[in-house]
Amino acid sequence: SQYLYIAKTGKSAKNITWSMARKYNNAYKLGWVANIADQCFYQPNGARLIITGADDPQLVDTFHGGKNRAVFLDEAPFWQHIDIEQFCEEVITPTLADEKGVLRMMSRPGYRRAGFFWECAHGKHPEWNVRKWSWEDNPHVRDNVRAFLAARIAANPEIVATAAFRR
């Protein structure tokens, strides 16, 4: 089986997942073997996790014809070089058929209220399941984020009116 994790760039993919995957591999003795050159983790059962970025327009061509158990597209509304809808429909979805795989898009809100990710997140594509949560739903960060935001608001009460703050 093959699993893909694709972030906005190759560098961001590595920064987001590489150390976390190594941490869990060691903590839970998963037996994954890391291959830094290929940016893959090989699992004892023969499966592999490929960690890559969407900053290369040629990426689209590298995933045709594969078989994937799961594909994770991170920070999808911020991808600049790949048409997300076309990539999902024409490239990734066909690779999920043999393994009855799943495709997950995940992100914080984008800068614009437009695009395929925004449309999916707002029910414009009913074939996509939508699950939403915020930092308030995460007990591991909730208290720290509340304190951080309270300090920012105390320092500049007008910040709550900015688009960046509302996102």
Mean pLDDT, consecutive 10-residue segments, the chain of 167 residues? 93 89 93 91 94 84 89 92 91 94 92 90 92 89 94 95 85
**pTM for the complete prediction?**
0.86
For 52-80, b/e burial (b = at least 16 CB within 10 A) is: bbbbeeebbeebeebebbbbbbbbbbbbe
Identify the pLDDT of residue 133.
86
CA dihedral 45, 12, 132, 103 (to 10 degrees): -40
Identify the pLDDT of residue 119.
94
Structure tokens at 32: 């994954």
Identify the pLDDT of residue 165.
85
Identify the pLDDT of residue 42.
95
Q: Report the alpha-carbon distance of residue 145 to residue 149 in Å, rounded.
A: 6
Q: Which spans in the chain are helix H?
A: 10-13, 19-27, 59-62, 84-86, 93-96, 116-121, 142-155, 163-166
Identify the pLDDT of residue 9.
92
**Number of C-beta neighbours around residue 101 at 10 A:** 19
Residues in CB range of 60: below 8 A, 6 or more apart: 82, 86, 87, 91
Q: Which spans in 7-162 are helix H?
A: 10-13, 19-27, 59-62, 84-86, 93-96, 116-121, 142-155
Identify the pLDDT of residue 155.
96
Q: How long a stretch of residues is the chain?
A: 167
Block residue for tokens 């158990």: 69
Identify the pLDDT of residue 30.
93
